[in-house]
Structure 1
Amino acid sequence: MWPQNTFFMALPHVGPIVGWLFAKQHMPNWYATLKKPPWWPPNKLFLIIWTAIYSTKGYASYLIWKDLGGSLGRLLALPLGLYAVQLILNWIILLLVFGAHNLGLALCHLVLLFGLVLGMALSWYSVNGLAVLLLLPYLAWLTVTTSLVYLLWMDNPSSAPPSQTHFTGGKLD
């Protein structure tokens, strides 16, 4: 099962690599100007944590695939369907933050992603308990990430895209 295991562990990394290639040109200028909370983790820590989480949730998805028969059957539709949707939503975060600079939309997106991962964990519970446990660091880090994006959004109102309108004091700006 080595090739399948490797595939499942590598797949989650595809989106961030592609997203980073797209967003890296926008990242240094805009990102550096953001007001960040004092407890903001170093950028290298983000890379290390997300790499570990992507690998871990990839391995967890492999466990689900293996325990449900190791092929693409009907039993896999819900558990791995939820996994695929959350994976795509996770990949979009980089584009929302670094490409579109839309922290408000990224925050809504993260809340939706958290709920989806929680639902995915519940659907996996009856299949493989270890796979669910492997998702706990992901849920914890999503909580941290959501709070960081919330603080960025609150502390950097000027970072919203120019096409967004803001309601202040009875008039639209």
Structure 2
Amino acid sequence: MNRRHLLAAALPLSLSVRAAAGEVLSGERPRLPTPPRALDGIAKSFIGSGRGMGLSVAAARDERLVFSAGYGIANIETSTPVTTDTVFRAGSITKQFTAVAIMKLVEKGHLGLDEPASKYIPEMVAAGPISIRMLLHQTSGLRNYSGSEFAQQQKIDRTTQQMLDHILAQKPLLNFKPNERF
């Protein structure tokens, strides 16, 4: 994953888990801490305890899937069970993973927090002088598209480029001048 994609992911926050995991997968091979049968027991116990509605578990060794299963309910209204193909909407939890992935790049000298986002995403020039720090601090001024519009938009699967295009097509693009407020 290159810096352009990582920063584009910081906008919609959709690729952060993959970015954060990239360093682990590129280094020493992770060891499976728990045998697959134990993972099955842990997941069943968690769902059976009533602390969660549904989850999907997968484990890989040497880039080979060794275990995958779905547990519980994916959709209460339709009683749809979780399967290994269930797609979960990650939502705001991805912000932390994106921030960590970006800070790892900053730590290694690959990014500077005060560099303009447009250095890596040229289309961002249209948004004005927005830095990586402003994106992380949510002070970029980029239009907040939450509310009823967000409910409709989150149902649409998009590539990173399509999401970036959607964000940059918003009118007005900015709710306030970059770094003026939160």
TM-score band by shorter chain is under 0.3
Larger fraction in strand: 2
TM-score (norm 1): 0.24
Asked which structure has the greater CA Rg, the reply is 2
